[in-house]
Amino acid sequence: MAARADAGSLFGRAVEITPPPELSTNGQDDGMISVSCPAPHECAASGGYLDTSINGWPMVTNQAGNGWAALSPLPLPADAAGTQLPEVSSAISCTGLAQCVAVGAYDYAGGGGDRTAYIARETGGTWPGAFAPALPANAAGEQQATLSSVSCVRKGNCVAAGSYVDKFGNTQIMVITETAGNWGRAREVMAPRGAAKPVNASAAGISCYQPGTCVAVGGYVAASGTLLPLVFTESKGTWHRATGIGLPRNALTGKNLGAGLSSVSCTATGFCAAAGSYNTKSIGAMMALTGSKGLSGRASEVTASPLAAGRHPYIAELSAVSCVTAVRCVAVGSYEPKRGGAFLALSVVWSGGRWGDAGTVRLPPDADTSRNQTAGLSSVACVRTGYCVAVGQYVYRPDVNLNAAAMIAVTP
């Protein structure tokens, strides 16, 4: 269904956030990955940046009144390698002002380029050094793990989800729980039945709406070679085996094709929405799935389209979703209106049981306006008042080696 109007005004114009010291001769390269808002104007965001040696490091910022504090590096565990891969993973969840947990992955000394997971907690507005959690007992000797998402229902009670490599070479889903401020050992969640061997499954997003009750999403490779979405849940403290989610009926499938779900958001009453992307024969399309106290079945195509894209963008991707109530969710991502054009940031609204208004989020004033623009929003957080914050990255000038900057957009 086409949008009634371009809903770009859902968010005000995005603004750039001042980055940590970076590569001054060739331009900067930083971007926001995750945002969490326990209340209006009490948000925090995490992301990554490249230093002067083009090493990638995690960074964080907090909302400061109506503005944002300058981005600052997030200290990694003491065994972090001196050089880090440019690819940075980072996710954040907050229960109150300056009460946040961040998770991700880092290159550790002696790991030969392997990465393992980290967890960090904000204390009194500062971030002490992160630590590497204990992986499942069957983890490979050379640790290979990442945490891609975290959800906190109250201070000291959080759950993080990601993946690790076991001693047999399988990439398995893992979850790790914090109870009363103490993090336990990570544990494996079994991949869906019918997964390929060796297993290749991972979690991308998690949302907990009560202690011991969570819904998580991700993707896995089926025996056919197709990448399919998955969902797994925790109920009353017990984790259940992941199950597969069907792709929309117009999905293009086959070896190395398919898609996963990238984000999930659940309200306090248990309504959940998940978002992701997939390929059809002719375009890259958005998909979503909704349910009560869990998710199952088949995802549906989200056909809402910004006016700039006409009836269908050539490529449209949903990266994140946040639900205020069962009748109000906001999803964000990026789209390419026509093949070979610029990628722009978009937002889509779930209202009255349908994905309707879709619009282009306006980029900061210094954004590159050529076809080389590759803007996108990677995360969104909304609170009950309808106040939403979205974060991502945009190209601020063309024709330099490093030219991307972090951006944040807020609803007026």
Q: 19: pLDDT confidence band, cut at 50, 70 and 90? A: confident
Q: Measuring CA to CA, which residue among 103, 265, 270 is closest to residue 174?
A: 103
What is the predicted pLDDT for the residue at 305? 86
pLDDT at 203 > cutoff 50: yes
Instruction: Give percent of the chain above pLDDT 90.
Output: 70
Residue-range domain boundaries for the chain: 8-410
Tell me how far apart the alpha carbons of residues 223 and 255 are, in angstroms, rounded to a whole number: 9
Instruction: Give percent of the chain above pLDDT 70.
Output: 95
pLDDT at 23 > cutoff 60: no
Task: Tell me how many helices (H) and strands (E) the chain has.
Answer: 0, 30
Residue 389 corresponds to which amino acid? V
Residue 189 corresponds to which amino acid? V
Range from 19-33, 129-143, 195-209, 238-252 carrying the lowest mean pLDDT: 19-33
The arrangement of secondary structure in 8-410, i.e. its CATH architecture, is: 6 Propeller (2.120)
Contact residues for 65 (Cβ-Cβ < 8 A; gap 6+): 41
Which pTM value belongs to this model? 0.94
What is the predicted pLDDT for the residue at 25? 53
Beta bridge partners of 395: 404
